[in-house]
Structure 1
Amino acid sequence: MNAPAADDSRMRTLVRSDDLDETREMISTAYSPYELRVLNKPQDFSAWYAEGGFPGVTLSALSYGTETLVAPEPLTTYLLICQVHRGRVRVESPGREEQFVDTGETYILDPHRRFKVFWGAGARMTTLRLSREAVDRAAGEALGHEEPVRARFALGGPVSAAAAESWSGVSAAVHREVMTGGVARTNPLIAAQLTRTAAATLMATHRLLPASEPVRHVGNVAHPAVRRAIQLMEERSDQPLSLSDLAVAARLSPRALQEAFQRYVGRTPLAHLREIRLERAHQDLLAADSDGPVTVAEIAFRWGFSNLGRFADWYRRRYGHAPSLTLRG
């Protein structure tokens, strides 16, 4: 059973426009900053976006009138389970995965990666948004860990026909709650239970990448300034960050931040940032197709390692072998 297609009369319409710039601004605010480009017949461009939800879940519906490219920044704090209700889209994670998604099929946008979504003319879909925190907790429980696990998902849909039926049933229940104004909107206990059920079912029905591993708890560090700096590192590890940037986020001077890190973490702020980036590079190497176009250099540069020799040395010290061996594995 497929989840019902969204009806704009039962959701709050935020965008109904034929203006490309207006659409880009509005949907960037709803999701994350993203590229929006018309690929064919710009005179036919139109967009519709609506959303609804309850605490823990946001359901969105959107469509474009002509062939369109959407390329969001990494979502970071949540993931999207997307279902095509009309038409076809092509989704790719540059250098890693590509999938054509037809009417009735689903795909997942992992929060840690960049994606490009090529919409066919008139395609329409709904997206179910779950917080990364809720999914990581479900991943930890599913994998037998006491702590949350940073869940990394493959692009594809459910792993089997039976899994697809299970996910479809839960997805339909979420859709009904949103579309009919169910009790989850006003009952926090029901909302929390339905959110946990959706996250747990997602774990049981979709493929988790082997790069998934226990989450480092920022909250375990006692010093609030250190927590703020680490939070920035976790959220923007793929972007240039200097000691001054981290100090601004921590609300300390660079020297005071250095001293706080040595006391509470046991290393310098930039050394801690390097460890986070090594972890992210390791995850990407594990997830990459050894026969695909991605290279060690591409992944190293993606995570800010401009010197490949140093990257290989740091990687070998942490993981016991060269990064090329992980890629080939």
Structure 2
Amino acid sequence: MATDFESDDLDDIEDHLSDAYGRMRLRTGHARPRARIAHTALGEIGLAEVRFGFGMDYAVEPTGTLTLGSVHGGVIPRHTAGLHESCLDAGDVALFAQPDQPCAGRHQDLCYTLVSLPPRLLDRVAATAPGRRPAPLRFLGSRPVSPAAGRHLRRTLAYLSATVSDDPEFAAQPLVAANCGQLLAASVLAAFPSTALVDPSAADRRDARTATVRRALAYMEEHADSPVTAADIAAAAHVTVRTLQYAFRRHLDTTPLTHLRRMRLGRAHAELRAAHPAQGVTVTAVAARWGFLQPGRFAAAYRRAYGVPPSHTLRQVP
């Protein structure tokens, strides 16, 4: 659900932002500090398109969420969060604050996308199995590790914003929202330096057996219609996420989530075969129900797997 806010009263703006993101203090010398904010939600992700038509100083208390932003226009000459200080211009993307950090700074005529996500969303991508959990995930810098990583994250944020604005009903499908959350979490972990462990250890290699794969496949078959993360599958197989990934590469030459997408593609194929065109079933609805974020990519994957477009299968009366 989208929530729009517009005001030129600084107290109203401060109250609105405090309600949405946690207590903050704003200061400006501008006579009419106009702000426009459009809030939307995509599963556990909070998205906001923000425009401040004035310059101001801000101080924000810890929010309990990871906050990042993609700047479209204006400038942030100074932003400080923890030990990290940034100067951001149009085209930049950065971590604004970790869950337990305050942040402060100054901006001028700013237009940007603000994204918040709970730490548990990152944990589901980076976590290990119960009993082998590493120290809490921490980010070691607020800027992307490379220009390419920054561009990829910026494109991901733009894609998620477009997914919500173009078709809210599609974005509200449980598997779509869950896949969007995993996509964002994986993109954030890839973009910023952190304490996440991604390379398999000697113990991970030892545990990457065929029995691990069998347990994982059984869990995936049973839960293909539910929001599932790599951490969920690893816990069901009694191994770490890294062990799970290594086992799938070793024995199936793929990744767990890629294999899960193939399973869901098969379920979508079966649903299209069973549907009657007169029932009002559409390819887009079936794709969304099985968690495919882009109908065009779903159609391309379907054609590669089954030799025909999904619409052809739907038109064939069973």
Match of 2:150 in 1: 164
TM-score (norm 2): 0.56
Q: Secondary structure at the match of 1:51?
A: strand
Residue 181 of structure 1 pairs with residue 172 of structure 2: no
* CA-to-aligned-CA distance 1:141-180 (integer Å, 9 cap, x gap): 5x99953752222452221122123323322221111221
Q: TM-score, normalised by structure 1?
A: 0.54
Summarize deviations over 1:31-72 as a string: whole Å, max 9, x none: 10111111xx32132222211122121111222222211211
Corresponding position of 1:107: 94
- Alignment counterpart, residue 140 of structure 1, candidates 127, 134, 139: 127
Q: Give, in whole Å, the separation in 2 of the partners of 1:197 and 1:145.
A: 26
One-letter amino acid of the counterpart of residue 84, structure 1? V
1:68 correspondence with 2:59: no
Q: What is the one-letter code of the residue matched to 1:105?
A: D
Aligned counterpart, 2:4: 13
Counterpart residue number, 1:236: none
Local SS of the residue matching 1:66: strand
* Distance in structure 1 (CA, Å) of the matches to 2:27 and 2:134: 37
1:138 Cα shift? Answer: 2.2
Report the CA distance shift for 1:66/1:190 in structure 2 as closer, same or farther (over 3 A). same
The question of 1:193 aligning with 2:184 is answered no
Show the 5 A alignment for 1:13-162: 13-14=4-5, 16-38=6-28, 41-76=29-64, 78-89=65-76, 90-93=78-81, 96-108=83-95, 109-120=97-108, 122-140=109-127, 146-147=132-133, 150-162=136-148
Runs of 4+ residues deviating >4 angstroms: 143-146
Task: Verify the 8 A CA contact 1:99 1:155 in the aligned structure 2.
Answer: no
Show the counterpart of 1:207.
193
2:93–2:154 CA contact under 8 A, matched in 1: no
Note closer, same or farther for the CA distance 1:72–1:200 as it changes in structure 2 (3 Å cut).
same
Identity of aligned residues (%): 25
Deviations 1:190-243 (A, max 9, x none): 111110121012111211159xxxxxxxxxxxxxxxxxxxxxxxxxxxxxxxxx
RMSD: 2.5
Q: What is the SS of the residue equivalent to 1:173?
A: helix
Give the partner amino acid of 1:27. L
Residue 126 of structure 1, CA deviation:
1.0
C-alpha distance in structure 2 between counterparts of 1:115 and 1:196, whole Å:
26
Matched-pair contact (CA < 8 Å) for 1:139–1:150: no
Q: Report the 3-state secondary structure (helix = DSSP H, G, I; strand = E; otherwise coil) of the residue aligned with 2:54.
A: coil
- Number of the residue aligned with 2:204: none
CA distance in 2, matches of 1:71, 1:134: 26
Question: How far, CA to CA, are the matches of 2:31 and 2:21 in structure 1?
Answer: 25
Question: Could you tell me which amino acid in structure 2 is paired with residue 112 of structure 1?
Answer: D
Q: Residues 149 and 129 of structure 1: is their aligned pair in 2 closer, same or farther, counting only changes over 3 Å? A: farther
**CA distance in structure 2 between the aligned counterparts of 1:204 and 1:165, rounded to whole angstroms:** 12
Asked if the contact 2:84/2:142 (under 8 Å) is kept, the reply is: no
- Aligned counterparts of 1:43 and 1:199: Cα–Cα separation in 2: 40
- Deviation string for 1:63-90 (max 9, x for gaps)? 22222112111112x1111111101112
| Number of residue-to-residue matches in the alignment | 194
Q: Distance in 1 between matches of 2:42 and 2:103?
A: 27
CA contact (8 A) 1:55 1:192 kept: yes
For 1:98 and 1:170, the matched residues in 2 are separated by 24
One-letter amino acid of the structure 2 residue matched with residue 169 of structure 1: R
- Give the Cα separation in 2 of the matches to 1:91 and 1:209: 23
CA positional deviation for 1:103: 0.3
